Structure 1
Amino acid sequence: MRRHAGLGLCSACWQKHPGRPFIRGEHLRDQLTNPPTWLDDFVGHVAARFCVSRACGLITSLGRLLQDEHPNSPQALLERSRRPGRSMGTFARALEDFFTHRGLALPTDQAERLAAGRRKRRIDAVPGPLRTAVAAFDASRMRAQDRARRAGTRPRSNHTLETALSILRDLARFLTEHRGKDDWALTDVHDIEAFLATSPKARKRRLVVLRQFFRFARSPHIVLIDPTRTLIVKERNGFRGRTLTLDQQRELFRRWTTDDQVHPHEALLGILALLHGASSTQVRTLKITDIDAAAQTVRLGKRPHPVPLDPASWTVLERCLDHRAKWPTTNPHVMVTKGTKAGRSPASTAYFSHALDDCGYPPRMIRSTRLVDLVNTMDPKLVAAAFGMDPQATLIYLADHIAPGRLPDQHP
């Protein structure tokens, strides 16, 4: 082994030395003719969030960008650091977190690029003769989304747009494979009914999208008659989801409050959904600043008032905070994963969709159980006010509820 000339360390110890990123940053500053003023801050930023070797690699990557012939403004560096493909890379994410947190650059459009790629894959899966109309429909929806953003109204989310394209893709495949039709103008009401019958539970959602598409297709005369005009949903407006029994709720409560082998993220998401009706989005975006340790309350999403936590819930929250404290992170969110500990973004929706896999029940089912119980034992308007929901949203949970004394056999 050869010892390091400056510090007298062997190679293995030198590779792990915490001062390596700062030494690498000093060397980079000496190599640059006009080093940026934020260079030292960036070195400290990556040194506090990454291991020694990864931090040195990021500083080396920054040096290559600063020494090329292109502009070295923060926004230009951020755009050039992005890798092609579905992930822009660790280096680009580190630069984005550093520049946007200090107001030196605007965030990238990585989310929009990924959404555009998902839409393109769905359009490409449409059979050729029917693809042009679907692409035109998607373009019109994107223009409507842009207008809504500029007008300050509520634009359709990327998930809504992608779901609509998935439904049209499935319909196009159904027409070509099972009905022998390769033109939208040949579609009739019997084709639509047969397609809706393939998934009865999704009839309402599918029919809404198909009505929007054929309404659009009539304008450029892709079709002359709307085949969905006379169709009806044929389903009642009410809660049809599954709920937990009382024994199942007790089993989950004991699992999340007494079993130390359960992951803290699972316990926190489950207990907040079971006792406080919290959604996955509310727990996903929960930050350290939303916690009031003195009053033992948290702020969940857009709820108008802080939510007081019972001793069991507060104990689970403290266990999750202890788990977070083991990560060297400055991420402001309560739930920090391996992929988000170096940045400031919340954990992905995919992570939360599988956080409760070990307990065997999805988060929506657990939350619906709490909402059904509250709405049927309290005034739905009070529940809506406490949860920050629209009053009409809580009424669907009263679909099968009959007030005591209203049945014929209970009349005097």
Structure 2
Amino acid sequence: MPAVPSWWDAFTTHLLMHRHPFYAGDIVTHTARLILDTHTTDPRTLLDHALHSNPRLVRPLTDFFHAHHLHDAPKAVEETTAAARRERRIEAVPAPLRPAVRGFAQTLLAQRERAAALGLRPNQLKTIEIRLDTVRDLSLHATGRGHQTWASLTTSDLEAFLARNPARRASWLAGVRQFFAHAQRTGAVQHNPAAPLDAPQPRGFRTCFRSDGQRNP
């Protein structure tokens, strides 16, 4: 490194105390590479770059910087690592379809923040990831069928996607509906191909019992 960070020795000691030696060595190596690539030793800047280029560094760096008062802790380490997971899902979407998915993710986060500000129950970070999982998988399905824009997808395309896993139809459909509602509001599509779709619940045989425990005829 051209300039060794003032906190470097403390960082390596921290890792050896809290991580397996092999894992600690790997993190030290990748952190050194991150510093060389970014030409900075500033904790906040390093975390920002790690979030996009090497998400597995986010947790150990955050833990160390917070423990040594080198960086104000984020709202929660969970939120920082969740941001990295969301970014990986978005980056997995084929490039022509990616901007709409990134906008969708930002909208979900904005809705979460508004709900929290109003004292309502916000969406869980895991729920947002599930929605992005669905849209990522749909995007791969769509490009596999030759689509390069969201606007070219039809209800039949969506039905074919949902049919791939009937057990998850209701969950997938919830994500598909939410995404295309967003896409229509933002102009990414003119018509919502998810509107006619439904997820009928299976109706199993139910036995009713009277209050005396006997089965109704």
> What is the TM-score with the length of structure 2 in the denominator?
0.66
Aligned partner of 1:400 in structure 2 is 206
User: For residues 131 and 89 of structure 1, do their structure 2 counterparts lie closer, same or farther at Cα, with a shift above 3 Å needed?
Assistant: closer
Shift of 1:149: 1.2
Within the alignment, does 1:216 sit opposite 2:149 as a pair? no
Structure 1's unaligned 5+ residue stretches are 1-49, 56-78, 100-104, 239-398, 408-412
Q: Alpha-carbon deviations, 1:64-99, whole Å to 9, x = none? A: xxxxxxxxxxxxxxx67x975132259628828xx9
For 1:217 and 1:107, how far apart are their aligned partners in 2? 31
For 2:177 and 2:132, how far apart are their aligned partners in 1? 13
User: For residues 88 and 172 of structure 1, do their structure 2 counterparts lie closer, same or farther at Cα, with a shift above 3 Å needed?
Assistant: same
The one-letter code matched in structure 2 to 1:216 is H
1 or 2, which has the higher helix percentage?
A: 2
CA-based RMSD of the aligned residues comes to: 2.9
Match among 136, 145, 159 for residue 193 of structure 1: 159
User: For residues 95 and 108 of structure 1, do their structure 2 counterparts lie closer, same or farther at Cα, with a shift above 3 Å needed?
Assistant: farther
Shift of 1:113: 1.3
Aligned partner of 1:128 in structure 2 is 95
Shift of 1:153: 0.6
Within the alignment, does 1:207 sit opposite 2:208 as a pair? no
The one-letter code matched in structure 2 to 1:173 is L
Aligned partner of 1:113 in structure 2 is 80
For 1:128 and 1:189, how far apart are their aligned partners in 2? 22
Match among 175, 182, 193 for residue 227 of structure 1: 193
Secondary structure at the counterpart of residue 88 of structure 1: helix
Aligned partner of 1:86 in structure 2 is 58
Q: Alpha-carbon deviations, 1:18-44, whole Å to 9, x = none? A: xxxxxxxxxxxxxxxxxxxxxxxxxxx
For 2:80 and 2:63, how far apart are their aligned partners in 1? 18
Within the alignment, does 1:172 sit opposite 2:139 as a pair? yes
Within the alignment, does 1:143 sit opposite 2:106 as a pair? no
Shift of 1:150: 1.1
Match among 181, 194, 205 for residue 147 of structure 2: 181
For 1:90 and 1:139, how far apart are their aligned partners in 2? 23
For 2:67 and 2:149, how far apart are their aligned partners in 1? 49
The one-letter code matched in structure 2 to 1:213 is F
For 1:232 and 1:187, how far apart are their aligned partners in 2? 17
Q: 1:184, 1:223 within 8 Å by CA — same for their partners in 2?
A: yes
For 1:230 and 1:402, how far apart are their aligned partners in 2? 34
Shift of 1:117: 0.4
Structure showing greater radius of gyration is 1
Q: 1:88, 1:110 within 8 Å by CA — same for their partners in 2?
A: no
Identity among equivalent pairs (%) = 33
Shift of 1:202: 0.4
User: For residues 230 and 216 of structure 1, do their structure 2 counterparts lie closer, same or farther at Cα, with a shift above 3 Å needed?
Assistant: same
Shift of 1:108: 5.3
Q: Alpha-carbon deviations, 1:96-137, whole Å to 9, x = none? A: 8xx9xxxxx866532211011000000000011100100011
Task: Please give the residue correspondences for 1:341-356 in structure 2 after superposition, counting only pairs within 5 Å.
Answer: none
Secondary structure at the counterpart of residue 232 of structure 1: coil
Q: 1:187, 1:227 within 8 Å by CA — same for their partners in 2?
A: yes
Aligned partner of 2:128 in structure 1 is 161
For 2:63 and 2:191, how far apart are their aligned partners in 1? 53
Q: Report 1 or 2 for greater relative contact order, CA contacts < 8 Å, sequence distance ≥ 6.
A: 2
> What is the TM-score with the length of structure 1 in the denominator?
0.36
For 1:91 and 1:189, how far apart are their aligned partners in 2? 47
Shift of 1:54: 4.0
Runs of 4+ in 1 over 3 A off after TM superposition: 105-109
The one-letter code matched in structure 2 to 1:148 is A
User: For residues 405 and 206 of structure 1, do their structure 2 counterparts lie closer, same or farther at Cα, with a shift above 3 Å needed?
Assistant: same
Q: 1:126, 1:169 within 8 Å by CA — same for their partners in 2?
A: yes
Figure out how many residues of one structure are paired with residues of the other and give that number.
164
Secondary structure at the counterpart of residue 144 of structure 1: helix
The one-letter code matched in structure 1 to 2:59 is S
User: For residues 237 and 124 of structure 1, do their structure 2 counterparts lie closer, same or farther at Cα, with a shift above 3 Å needed?
Assistant: farther
The one-letter code matched in structure 1 to 2:157 is D
Q: Alpha-carbon deviations, 1:265-315, whole Å to 9, x = none? A: xxxxxxxxxxxxxxxxxxxxxxxxxxxxxxxxxxxxxxxxxxxxxxxxxxx
Shift of 1:402: 2.7
For 1:215 and 1:209, how far apart are their aligned partners in 2? 10
Secondary structure at the counterpart of residue 186 of structure 2: coil
Structure 2's unaligned 5+ residue stretches are 1-13, 19-42, 51-56
The one-letter code matched in structure 1 to 2:173 is L
